[in-house]
Structures are given as C-alpha cells and as structure tokens.
C-alpha cells in the first residue's frame, strides 16, 4: 500500500492528461490567487514601502556581505526552522505541517507527471504517505490543542473563521487523500466517493488562495528578512519596547471564566 502510486490506479477512469491538467489548473489558481492578494491587499507594496523606509531612516548602512549573511540566517532560522515561533509546541506543529505539505505536493506532482503508470519508484509513494501523515499530525495538533482561542480562552475547537480556511482545507485534503489511497488498495466501492471529496477539498485548498492565508507563506520569508535588516541598520531601535508582562509587576494572569 505504501509503495503503490495511488494515482496510477486511476488510469482506467481518468487519463494521465486529465490528472496532469488538473494539477496545472491548481498551480495556476495559486499563481492567480497570490497575484490577487498582492494587488488587492497591497501586501507587496506594504513590504517594499517598509523596506525603503527602514533603509532611509536607519543610522547605518548594511553592505553586501552583511546583507548576504543576514539573508542566509533568515533562510536557516526563520524559514527552515520557523524561528519566529516562541512556543516549542507551535513550532513543531508548524514544521510538521510545512515539511509534510512540501513532500505531499512534490510527491503528487512527480507521480502524476513522471510516473502516471504502475511502474513508480517506491520512494515517491512513501514520501506522499509520509507527507500527508505529517500534515495531519501537525494540523490536527494545532487545530485542537494549540490554537489560541481553544488552548487559552476555552473556545470551541469547531469554531471556524476565514483565517482557518487554509489549515482546514489542507488537513481535510490530506485526510481524504489518505483514506482514498487506503480504500483503493482494498478495491472498496467507497473509494470513488472519497476520491470525489478529496478532489473537492483539494480544489478548495488551492482555489481559495485569494481569501485564505495560503499566500502568506510567500511573504513571511521576505518579512522576516526585512525585520532582520531593519534591526541591523538600527531603524528598529526607534520602535517602542514591548509591553511588560504581568508577572514583572508581581501579578499573574487570571484565566477567563466561562459560564
């Protein structure tokens, strides 16, 4: 089961061209949604305005060698290790979801485009399964135990807002994909129904980029780099200091009461 290309078994129902066309459409949806996010929300303009302002107001210049070192540190710490998260639990959940998503998407593309037949190297189905399982582990852990309104404020884990669209559609897509692949190996009659739901969830995931937080993954590395460069040139030293925590004044935070 774990070494079988689940998409190759669709050959009797869907041709490789149809599957490849669907993947291309999802890629175009991500590109279009990201461009819409840039133009409609002004995310890119806001970022570049901040960058120019920090360069103009900073008391020192960050030259090429130092800027390159900061860029490398940003890639290693903020991007690859998610260093912006102070909570170890949230960082682990984010890393599981992020790397799982990358493996899940890359393995899907390779199996659909390079090996749309049964003769698929075992490593790609294994990476597909592992990636989807990592997405589910990190996503469900975050959803039920780490979200602020659930973990700290006693909110319902079933409460949905638009900001949850990305993580919910991602976890649902991965979950349905795993169920479909498992049912397919047993020739279950329900495999077709689950596959249809899997396609719907995946379409929502990639088709809702303009309204979800999907596009943020492209802006976060740039924002992290701008933050480090601003700190290096001194422009961030003019910002107010963070507010003191209650324990610094001898008090402790009281948990909200729910009636």
What residue ranges do the domains of the chain occupy? 1-54+110-230
Task: Specify whether the CB–CB gap between 224 and 78 falls below 8 A.
Answer: yes
**Any long-range contacts for 66-69 (C-beta under 8 Å, 24+ apart)?**
66/232, 67/229
> CA 79 to CA 85: how far, in whole Å?
11
Of 178, 179, 80, whose CA–CA distance to 133 is shortest? Answer: 178
Q: How far is CA 253 from CA 6, 87, 155, 195, in A?
A: 51, 18, 18, 47
The pLDDT, as a whole number, for residue 131 is 96
Percent of the chain with pLDDT over 90: 31
Determine the angle formed by the axes of helices 165-185 and 191-207, rounding to 10 degrees: 150
The pLDDT, as a whole number, for residue 250 is 45
Percent of the chain with pLDDT over 70: 65
| Chain segment 25-41, per-residue pLDDT in tens | 999 999 888 888 777 76
> CA 257 to CA 255: how far, in whole Å?
6
Q: What is the pLDDT of the chain when averaged over all its residues?
A: 78
Q: How many CA atoms lie within 13 A of 246 on its CB side?
A: 5
Provide the pLDDT confidence category of residue 238 given band limits of 50, 70 and 90: very low
| Chain segment 156-212, per-residue pLDDT in tens | 666 666 667 888 999 999 999 999 999 987 777 788 899 999 999 999 999 988 877
Provide the pLDDT confidence category of residue 258 given band limits of 50, 70 and 90: very low
Q: What sign does the dihedral 171-175-181-184 (CA atoms) show?
A: negative
The pLDDT, as a whole number, for residue 241 is 46
Provide the pLDDT confidence category of residue 13 given band limits of 50, 70 and 90: confident
**If you search the block for the tokens 């103009």, which residue do you land on?**
56
């Amino acid at each position: 089961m774990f070494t079988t290309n689940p998409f190759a078994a669709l050959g009797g129902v869907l041709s490789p061209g149809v599957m490849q066309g669907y993947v291309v459409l999802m890629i175009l949806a991500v590109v279009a949604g990201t461009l819409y996010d840039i133009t409609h929300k002004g995310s890119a303009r806001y970022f570049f305005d901040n960058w120019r302002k920090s360069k103009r107001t900073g008391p020192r210049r960050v030259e090429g060698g130092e800027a390159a070192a900061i860029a490398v540190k940003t890639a290693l710490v903020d991007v690859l290790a998610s260093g912006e998260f102070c909570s170890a639990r949230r960082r682990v959940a984010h890393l599981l979801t992020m790397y799982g998503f990358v493996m899940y998407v890359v393995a899907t593309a390779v199996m659909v485009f390079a090996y749309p037949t049964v003769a698929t190297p075992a490593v790609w189905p294994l990476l597909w399964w592992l990636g989807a399982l990592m997405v589910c582990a990190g996503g469900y852990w975050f959803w039920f135990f780490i979200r602020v309104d659930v973990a700290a404020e006693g909110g319902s884990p079933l409460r949905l807002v638009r900001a949850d669209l990305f993580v919910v559609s991602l976890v649902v897509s991965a979950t349905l994909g795993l169920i479909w692949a498992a049912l397919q190996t047993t020739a279950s009659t329900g495999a077709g129904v689950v596959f249809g739901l899997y396609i719907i969830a995946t379409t929502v995931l990639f088709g809702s980029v303009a309204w979800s937080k999907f596009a943020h993954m492209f802006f976060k590395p740039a924002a992290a780099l701008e933050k480090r460069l601003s700190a290096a040139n001194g422009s961030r030293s003019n910002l107010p200091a963070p507010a003191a925590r209650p324990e610094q004044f001898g008090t402790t935070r009281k948990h909200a009461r729910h009636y």
